[in-house]
Structure 1
């Protein structure tokens, strides 16, 4: 409540939780009822966290007709109130997560799934340190064809890719200045921004932190912020995996290390290659990669990004300082030894994606997993085992994966498979234009 007392101009608040697709589902509430929200929470049907991408009920879901569509209990996360700087009226946002009425965590909530992974690490005396790198597009979608928006400074439109171009960043300086101000207000640790390898594409890194739930919250909130704030400048901010067929898509690369109870990095053995535990974690990630691809590429458009020679991995392998690899070990000082997982697209639910990576790494650490040798050179030419090549294949692999069953509760797996199979069925009826219209703002 301290934030609301410090901001008496705030008259309305939003309460929101992430569904399985990462879409914010919630309510608008007058600020005078904030005390009740903090002490009693609010209620949504359990089925609300299991909607398809259109916000429709999943057909034949046991959460709807079979059970009478009962309510779950939504309680505030540790985050508390924060501003929503992209709205015209001063507004507060209260992030929530879902429980059963008796207070037990609801297994179908993606944030609860990540909390289960955090508990596994804590039980092992370990602490993951996590950072995400988010690529996104600024897009003029006002006409019949997607284009780079005109610069708010010059009014000019540049259509080429401008990798690491200061000119491209400066062209949108007003947007980025507003974005960094908003990140400060929302306590999102936004670090470096660069222009990327496709027209209107940028990347912003969020700082490493030893709280994986906050890292995922930051990522989820950052995506919400980009999409909301961009509209204030007259264009879309999109995490769609591949809006332009002729250019690279957007990824959400994840970096992580793991600390022991004394705060030492278990991936560091003082050498340039890293410790046995680093290779164990890599082995666990590689073993889980076929089954977890659906979480890294959750939508039909996701598979347009995962193609050879497009700066997105297709093969299941790892390497040192090699951006063609699905798992890259960046060059660093030994104490900063870490793993970069490069499969996920920008369109992921960060709670599920981070849970999949860290859960797989812990599987490998616990099992002292077999890890193949790192490769050298171009991953696309190495004859590596391949990620599932289609959405349908990825759904089947996710459902059958023993690694996934170690990481996620059965209820979430069942809900996610039903959701994705329903989306797969209905997406077949959409044109390319309708697909872009659906995904551009939603994911």
Structure 2
């Protein structure tokens, strides 16, 4: 991490010549500009940098699409301001002489762009602060590595790619060390960018691995999460390899993003530990109850793509049931830890989620339970796949309809935010429904 004084000194000495100003878009991707370090220090630092407002209103292919109130041909596709958050300033070891700063997104009059994922999370954090609470999270991201480059993958139509491991390497030290040239560079680069690296392990799908970092305050973790995904792909590309964070790349295990979430009170003490049943505090019980009660309405924020819902399969280690349990990996909410480490692990999201939106949704859901003093249902023991409880939405269409009609979501986030992300879902659905897939051709070309 860098202070502003350090950046000025390193710029003067020529050790840093580029500053990336970055925002996170609807899809959870870092977008922005590479600025000359001298220009950033002398000018952009004080007034920000500008970017077209379509950055928060395009599809994954960067196509301008209809239905967004904040950005359209009718409004002229004007600018937004990238306002640097200097607390996020850091060096980027995988690029020479380069620093990066995460920005908030403002309108040119200085007012916040409420549809911006980072602003959405900050609003929910402020609501939580009003209750005397602060959220800490850690995200566990799974991904699949390939010995195929991104360019080769594109030319191959993303078929017949070569995974970095040929078999299930879950916890396999041999499987992990065989991909160490790439993984070591990623780990050490992230440490050099201010991350506290915990470790890495192999996973079930060929070429699949998981890298974890120490938990931090919610906003800092989400900033790091977005930087990590960008950095891991950039480093893989430098090695003529590729990484995918797709929720479900193939028929085997998908890529998850488990979110560990705990709360501290105003004095910095763990707020989920108490004298109640299971060693829970009243806040813990109400928080879990709120998560479960609002999960159907907020699933979109944890599973924002068509592909996301293909993870939700019985026996896949991805949940299907809206239930909680102790150290139970079949539940949507798994309670782990004890004493000061007691926390919730929300297992619904895939690696394709936007961390700001997902975390904002979890905080809003937990707050719903606290504010309404909801009663926590009993835990599920045994397989939640067979429990008689409410199920997660199974398609993007179902999840977007639940979000659209949710009075709770519209109260928690505001109509502008809900309408914006419902439109994002509809855009994806329309694009998918107009596409003829390889699966359809294979089944129908000769046999129908």
Please confirm whether the aligned pair reaches a TM-score higher than 0.5, indicating the same fold. Answer: yes
Structure 1 residue aligned with 2:270: 265
Cross-structure match for 1:239: 245
Structure 1 regions of 5+ residues with no counterpart?
151-157, 435-443
C-alpha spacing 1:323/1:363, structure 2 compared with 1 (3 Å): same
1:64 match: 72
- Residue in structure 1 matched with residue 321 of structure 2 by the alignment: 315
For 2:371, the equivalent position in structure 1 comes to 366
Number of the residue aligned with 1:119: 126
Equivalent in the alignment of 1:92? 99
Q: For the Cα contact (< 8 Å) 2:23–2:102, is it kept in 1? A: yes
Give the structure-1-normalised TM-score. 0.90
How far residue 392 of structure 1 moved from its aligned partner, in angstroms, is 0.7
For residues 346 and 403 of structure 1, the distance between their equivalents in structure 2, rounded to whole angstroms, comes to 26
Q: Distance in 1 between matches of 2:315 and 2:381?
A: 16
After the TM superposition, which residues 49-198 of structure 1 pair with which residues of structure 2 at under 5 Å, given as runs? 49-62=56-69, 63-87=71-95, 89-141=96-148, 142=152, 144=156, 145-150=159-164, 158-198=165-205
Distance 2:177 2:147 in 1: 18
**Which of 303, 309, 328 lines up with 2:334 in the alignment?**
328
1:28/1:78 CA distance change after superposition, 3 Å: closer
Deviation at 1:431, TM superposition (A): 5.2
**1:422 maps to 2:430:** no
Find 1:6's aligned residue among 4, 10, 16.
10
CA distance in 2, matches of 1:323, 1:174: 31
Q: Secondary structure at the match of 1:93?
A: strand
Alignment gaps of 5+ in structure 2: 440-448
Q: What SS is found at the alignment partner of 1:230?
A: helix
Give the SS at the match of 2:322. coil
Give the superposition deviation at 1:338: 0.8
Q: How does 1:332-343 map to 2 (within 5 A)?
A: 332-343=337-348
CA contact (8 A) 2:291 2:365 kept: yes
Q: Closer, same or farther in 2 for the Cα pair 1:146/1:119, shift >3 Å? A: farther
Residue number in structure 1 paired with 2:403: 398
Name whichever of 342-351 and 182-191 sits farther off: 182-191
Task: Report the number of matched residues.
Answer: 423
- Residues 1:45 and 2:48 aligned together: no
Deviates more, 1:223-232 or 1:139-148: 139-148
Distance in 2 of aligned mates of 1:90 and 1:428: 45
Whether 2:226 is the aligned partner of 1:215: answer no
Work out whether residues 144 and 163 of structure 2, in 8 Å CA contact, stay in contact via their aligned partners in 1. no
Aligned to 1:155: none
Asked whether the 8 Å contact 1:17–1:96 carries over to 2, the reply is: yes
1:345 positional shift: 0.5
Could you tell me which of 286, 289, 292 is aligned with 1:286? 292
CA deviation map 1:240-296 (0-9, x unaligned): 101121x11011111111111222222111564422321110111111111111111
Q: Evaluate the alpha carbon distance shift between residue 98 and residue 85 of structure 1 in structure 2; reply closer, same or farther with a 3 A threshold.
A: same
CA contact (8 A) 2:142 2:211 kept: yes
Q: Distance in 2 between matches of 1:78 and 1:410?
A: 31
SS in 1 for 2:270: coil
| Structure 1 Cα separation of the partners of residues 21 and 205 of structure 2 | 35
Q: Which residue of 2 aligns with 1:277?
A: 283
8 Å contact from structure 1 (residues 43, 74) kept in 2: yes
- Match of 1:15? 21
- Does residue 1:253 correspond to 2:261, yes or no? no
Q: 96-105 vs 350-359, which deviates more? A: 96-105
